[in-house]
Amino acid sequence: MISLDDIKQMLAETGENTLTLYLNVDNALEENQAVQPAWKIWLKDTLRRLAEENSAQGSDAKVTWNRIHQRLEEYLQGYTPNSRGLALFAGPDFLRPIELPLNMENQAFFGKAAVTPLLWELDEHEPYLIALVDQEKTRMFLTHLGSIGFEDSVELDIDDYDWAERTTMHGPGPGIDNAAVHGGTGKDDFQKMIGEFVSRFYRQSAGRIGKVAEQHGVRRIILGGVEESARAVEGYLAEPTKKLVIDIVPIPLRSSPAQIQEIALERARAYERAAEVDLVNQVIDFAKSGGRGALGAKAVMEALEMRRVELLIMPWPMDDASLAAELPLRAFASGGSVELVHGEAADRLKQEGGLAARLYYVL
C-alpha cells in the first residue's frame, strides 16, 4: 500500500518534465466494459493534445515528450487493470505506476510531478483500525484508501477455564454448606470467576489492538460492538493507544465489512473535518499572535523559501493546478509535511489568504 514515504522517495526521481496521470480504470464501471474502455479513449485524446503542445515548444521539448510517450506506451501494452484507480508518473528516464483501490477522476498534468490529488486521497483515507467487541470475541478491521480488510481477532477461550474448581464451587458435597467453605454462595463465586475471565479477555483484546495499531501505523481507532464491552476494552488500552480512540460507535459485531466501513467512514470523516477546523484555527491564532504561523500566499512562500515550514496547510481542491503541484514539493524539500483541508476548514483558510503554515520556529 502506498505511503507518504513512498511518494517522497518517488519525487526524488522526478524532474521538471514529468507526465502525471490519474486514471479511472475500474472494470466494474459500464463505460469501461466496452471494447475500448472509456479511460483509454480519454487517455488517447489527452496524449494527442499534450504531444501537440510540446511540439510547439521546440525540438528539445518534442524529443523529451517522445521519450516519455514511448516509455508510457511500452508500459500500457502489457497493462491489465487490477485496481479501481491508477496513478502514473513518467519522465524521460523513469515510470512509476501506483495502483489504487479507489476510483480516481481522469486527470493529466505535465511539468512537475502533481502528487496533490494522491496526497488528498491518502489524507482522506488514512488508516483506521475498527475493533468490534462483545464479551466473547473481538474482531479487528483496517480501512485504508477506500478499502477494508479483516486483520485479527481475539476470542474468549472458555476451554482454558478451571472446570474442576467451578464444579467445586457449585457444591462441595451433600450436607456441606458451600457458603461456609467459600465465604459466599457457590453461584456468587462462580460469577466472580467468570467476570475475572472476561476481564482477562478484555485485557488481551486491548493488548492486541495496541499491537495491530502500531504495526500498521494507525493514528485513529474506532471501537464498536457492545458498548459496555467496548468501554471496558478502552479502559485497558495503554495510554498512547487510548489517545487514538476517536469514538465508540454502535456497530453490530456481525456486520459485514461493507456495513462496518460505511458506518465507520461517516464517523471518521466527521472527525477529520472537525480536526481540520481546529488545526486551521490554531495556525491562524499562531500567525496573528506573532507565533509559529504564516498566513497568505506571500508569507507562506517566504517561509517555504527559508525552509521554516513544518506543516503546509492547503485547501482542496485548489484553483491553481501549477501552484497545487509546486507547493507540496517545496514543503517536502524542507522536511515539512502537508495537510489538505476541505469544507468549513477550507472556507476559513480562504478567508485568511488561502494558505497557511505552521513553522519550525519564530523569527
At 124, list the grid cell.
482522506
Output the average pLDDT for the chain.
89
Pick the CATH number of 270-359 from 1.10.3720.10, 3.30.1330.30, 3.40.190.10, 3.10.620.30: 3.30.1330.30
**Per-residue pLDDT tens over the stretch 82-99:** 999 999 999 999 999 999
**pLDDT at position 169, please?**
44
Residue with cell 472527525: 271
Say what the pTM is: 0.82
**pLDDT at position 179, please?**
44
Alpha carbon distance 130, 141 (integer Å): 5
Q: Are strands 220-225 and 245-248 parallel, antiparallel or unpaired?
A: parallel
**pLDDT at position 171, please?**
45
> How many CB atoms neighbour CB 363 within 10 A?
7
pLDDT mean over 100-109 = 94
Alpha carbon distance 214, 230 (integer Å): 19
At 197, the pLDDT band (50, 70, 90 cuts) reads: confident
**pLDDT at position 182, please?**
45
At 56, the pLDDT band (50, 70, 90 cuts) reads: confident
**pLDDT at position 190, please?**
58
**pLDDT at position 223, please?**
97
**pLDDT at position 150, please?**
87
Handedness of CA 350, 5, 95, 43 (dihedral sign): negative
At 145, the pLDDT band (50, 70, 90 cuts) reads: low
Assign a CATH topology to domain 128-255: Nucleotidyltransferase; domain 5 (3.30.420)
pLDDT at 76 over 50: yes
pLDDT at 46 over 60: yes
> DSSP letter string over 195-250?
HHHHHHHHHHHHHHHHHHHHHTT--EEEEEESHHHHHHHHHHS-HHHHTTEEEE--
